[in-house]
Structure 1
């Protein structure tokens, strides 16, 4: 970090000491028994709260779990240990914590009925399809959290950081999805968690290195080891590739749904008081919901209008407002 930026972002009068940071972020520093007891207790309780909030689709409950969850502590401990070039055991704690939270989510999934549709739950749907903007927001939040930890005068923003960068809820969602044998949805939730973990560690490494906290004697102070850079580069690739692919897919689906809606509106143009209420792409099928007082016009006219607008072979289902569902066929066939 350039010295001018460091002086403004981390004024010398407000920088916290190494001991202060280690006391807060390193579970192996100081009263380790009390620290670990508090960490595992609050992590378990926050996981249960998050699982309850996810299954009841309660945003307020999930936010409460975000504030209570202590998982960001060992994650930031990884960043501090990397800058100091010493092992703190934080990575092991994070891995065990992830396993615990996922297990709790899987256990809670057993209460769901067999016909439960996971994507009908907004808490699940919003955490199983992350995009590149989620990483951008996470990086900004990671820097905000690191600065709040490194300065004495802005610690009040930490609850906001806990809300902005979700850690426990994606792991709970991954557990719920695994419990329901929805592997791809679980993978999406895990990608979201890993992107948030990367953002916190990266932001912490940059900010803590700017504090010029030294490592053990004989080592260059304030700079992580080369293998740390290699690990972060690998983690970044693991995160950014699926996020970019999912973002591109989302944009493509938005384009296709827009074309399908325009074609459906043209198809119903001659029907009085008819309208297209929604168009959704689910499970490789285009669902077009319409509202009209009379009978539907021939669906072949819709397929003809969709030809060239959507890829050939895409199934089209028309849902009418009276509860009728018509399998219109496949585009281009």
Structure 2
């Protein structure tokens, strides 16, 4: 490691390759004990995350992030690439896939007996994890860099809980399962895209940091997977994730425009009702929810639907929520 990098990772604080491998390879050392700990903490974090989503509790979801161990095999993929160790890469990917599938399955199972327990539109934990954009990817890469540095240095391991909070892995998977259980496939796809982009960002950042810190040169021998081919595969994966993220960013802008149009039309509609006001408008997954306050019953929604026809795309469902048990489906825009 040259002097430029030694300022960031002093030689005296650098973990050796065997130590780093022992931390990131779940099959290293006492395999049964390590996997027992991995699955115990993963399933507990999944339960906490799913409960936090159902309860719309940010604090609970953060608790799930802190104890979730899924970043260990993900960083194991990065280390395997740096070591040119195809076995480590494949083993780590296997544990990532098995862990992710388990969290999704748990979320789906939890949602089936509770079909009315979650409002996909108004739940902030769902909304925050179903529309990832470019800034989410940038933040994930920066978080991955911080995590890789924390793993490589002996003196800054206390930053790892903060890294776990900053990069969301288990909560999006819990949202995927819950949404699949309730038949919301498009919403589930958005949450899975967030998980996938975070995973690729972690692998990319880990690969860059571990290579810069000299672990590739320290490896006794290269075997199984060419570093050049592996890094190319990661770059391609990043591009593949970046394309839908760009598309999602454009879609977010479009939805914002639609939201403002619905807001304008709804305010004009309520202007005819003394004492009524529009509280909020949310457009998610082809549904527009209007939160209103009215002194009596909800006004006739037909004038609202007529005004929305042409202002937003045909096929968007409109729900009016006046609180205190007053919630009606106003209809679908463009459908008589």
Into which bin does the TM-score normalised by the smaller protein fall?
Answer: 0.7 to 0.9
Instruction: Give the whole-Å Cα distance in 1 for the aligned partners of 2:53 and 2:321.
Output: 31
1:84 is matched with 83
Larger Rg over CA atoms:
1
State the superposition RMSD in angstroms: 3.4
Tell me which residue corresponds to 1:42: 41
Are the structure 2 counterparts of residues 8 and 259 from structure 1 closer, same or farther at C-alpha, using a change threshold of 3 Å? farther
TM-score, normalisation: structure 1: 0.83
* CA distance, structure 1, for counterparts of residue 301 and residue 20 of structure 2: 69
1:279–1:25 CA distance, 2 compared to 1 (3 A) = same
Superposed CA deviations along residues 269-306 of structure 1, whole A, max 9, x for unmatched, are 676655332233245354545556699699759956x6
Note if contact 1:318-1:326 (Cα within 8 Å) is conserved in structure 2.
yes
Show the counterpart of 2:209. 207
Give yes or no for contact 2:266–2:304 (8 Å, CA) kept in 1. Answer: no
Indicate if the aligned counterparts of 1:146 and 1:207 stay in contact, CA closer than 8 A.
Answer: yes
Q: Give, in whole Å, the separation in 1 of the partners of 2:69 and 2:304.
A: 57
Distance 1:302 1:153, change over 3 A: same
Q: Does 1:33 align with 2:35?
A: no
- Using structure 2 for the length normalisation, give the TM-score: 0.82
* Counterpart among 143, 146, 149 of residue 144 in structure 1: 146
- Give the Cα–Cα distance (whole angstroms) in 1 for the partners of residues 80 and 24 of structure 2: 9
How far did residue 63 of structure 1 move? 1.9
- Output the CA distance in 2 between the equivalents of 1:282 and 1:166: 21
1:15–1:210: structure 2 CA closer, same or farther, 3 Å change rule? Answer: same
Q: How many residues align?
A: 328
Alignment CA distance shift 1:275-1:55 (3 Å): closer
CA contact (8 A) 1:170 1:193 kept: yes
Aligned to 1:280: 282
Name the structure 1 match of 2:54: 55
Tell which deviates more after alignment, 136-145 or 181-190.
181-190
Contact kept in structure 2, 1:316 and 1:329, CA below 8 Å = yes
Further displaced range: 260-269 or 317-326: 317-326
- By how many angstroms is 1:212 displaced? 0.9
Q: Which residue of 184, 191, 194 maps to 1:192?
A: 194
Superposition map of 1:14-163 within 5 A: 14-86=13-85, 87-88=87-88, 89-113=91-115, 116-163=118-165
- Deviation digits for residues 186-239 of structure 1 (CA, Å, limit 9, x no counterpart): 21121111111111111111110011122655659xx96122123212321332
The whole-number CA distance in structure 1 between the counterparts of 2:214 and 2:146 is 18
Runs of at least 5 residues in structure 2 that lack an aligned partner in the other structure = none
Say if 1:269 and 1:4 are closer, same or farther in 2 by CA, change over 3 A: farther
Tell me how far apart the structure 1 counterparts of residues 172 and 120 of structure 2 sit (CA, whole Å): 14
The residue aligned with 2:6 is 7
Instruction: Give structure 1 stretches of 5+ with no counterpart.
Output: none
Residues 179 and 301 (structure 1), Cα distance of their counterparts in 2 relative to 1, 3 Å cut? closer
